Structure 1
Amino acid sequence: MSDRAVSGGAAAGADVPRPAAVYGGAGLIPFVACTVLVWVLPPGWANFALDVLLGYGAVILSFLGAVHWGLALADPGGARADAGWRRLGWSVTPALLAWVSLVLVPLGGLVLQVIGFTAAFFADLRAVRLGRVPAWYRRLRRPLTVVVLLCLAAAAVRVAVIG
C-alpha cells in the first residue's frame, strides 16, 4: 500500500494522506470495542470497559490539544504574539477537560468528553480556515469525531439507562 492520498473529494488539497487515514481509523478501534463491551459484558466487566473507554478518550482528547501546541511551536512568531496566548491556552484545555473527566462519576466524565471532543473539532475547523493545518485535516477529523461522539454517547446511554 502506498502513502498516496485517500480520495477526499473535489476540493484541491482535500485528500487525506493514507498514513493519517489508516492511523486515524485504527485509533477508533478502542472506542468502538470498549463501547460494545460496555453494552454486552456483565456489570463488573462492563464497568472495567467503561473505565478503559474513559481513559482512552482522555488520552486522545489530550492528543488533540497537543496538536495545537505543536502548531504554536512550529510558528514561534505567532506564539509570541497576542494570539499565542489563545493558541497555547486552547492547546492545554483538552488535556485539562480530559483529566477532570477521569475524576467525575462515569456519566459526567462521558458528557465532559463529548463536550471536549466537540470543542476540539470546532477548534480544528477554525485552524483549517486560518490555514494553520492542511485542508485535508477537516476531512480526516470529521468522520473520526462522529464515531468518537457516537461511541461516547452510546456508553453514556448505557450508564444512564441501565446503570
Structure 2
Amino acid sequence: MLLQARLTTRLGAAGLLPFAFTLLMAWVAPAGWQAWAISAFLFYSAVILSFLGGIQWGVAMTLDAPEDAAFASRMLRSMLPSLIAWPALLLPDLAATLILLAGYLLIHAYEGQPASRARLPGWYRSLRRSLTLCVAGGHVLMALRLVIG
C-alpha cells in the first residue's frame, strides 16, 4: 500500500511538470515563446481534463453494474470533461483557461460526492485534492498572465 501511494504521488507530481514549465515560460520567456507556452499549457490541460473523465469511465466499467442507474450516470459524466476540454481549445486563450479551470473544479466536486467517494480509493481522493489545488492555482496564474499581458 505504501509503495502504491509513493508511486501514485510521484506520477501525479510528474504530471504537474508540464503545467509548471509552460506556466513559467508564459511569464518569463521571450514573447514568441510565451505564445507557444500558453498554447502548450492549454493543450496539456485539455488532455489531462479528458484523462480525468477516462478515470470515471474505468470506474464505471469495473465497479458499477451496467443495469444500475449509477453505471449510466457515471458513464455520461465521464464524457463531460472531454466535451468541456475540446471546445475550450477553440476559444480565445483567457476563455479557454477559465473554462478548463471550471472543468477541473466540476470533476473535483463530482469526485467529492458520496456516490463517487464510495467508488474511489482514499489515496486517490487525497492525491486528486492536492493535484486539483495545484492545477487550479496554475490556471488562475495563467489567467492573470493573460489579463495583464
TM-score range, shorter chain: over 0.9
RMSD of equivalent CA atoms: 1.7
Aligned match of 2:87 in 97, 100, 122? Answer: 100
Matched residue SS, 1:93: helix
Aligned match of 1:50 in 29, 38, 43? Answer: 38
- C-alpha separation between the residues in 1 aligned to 2:34 and 2:114? 37
- Contact (CA 8 Å) 1:128, 1:134: kept in 2 or not? no
Alignment TM-score, normalising by the size of structure 1 = 0.85
Aligned match of 1:133 in 111, 120, 139? Answer: 120
Q: Which has the higher helix share?
A: 2
Gaps of 5+ in 2: none
1:34/1:140 CA distance change after superposition, 3 Å: same
Alignment TM-score, normalising by the size of structure 2 = 0.93
Gaps of 5+ in 1: 6-15
How far off is 1:83 after superposition? 2.4
Count how many residue pairs are aligned between Structure 1 and Structure 2: 149
Aligned match of 1:4 in 2, 5, 13? Answer: 2
Q: What pairs up with 1:1-163 in 2 under 5 angstroms? A: 4-5=2-3, 17-77=5-65, 79-126=66-113, 130-162=117-149
Identity of aligned residues (%): 34
How far off is 1:121 after superposition? 1.0
After superposition, what is the alpha-carbon deviation per residue over 1:107-131, rounded to whole angstroms, capped at 9, x for unaligned?
Answer: 0100001000001111122267641
How far off is 1:138 after superposition? 1.7
After superposition, what is the alpha-carbon deviation per residue over 1:19-59, rounded to whole angstroms, capped at 9, x for unaligned?
Answer: 11110011000111111110001222101000000010011
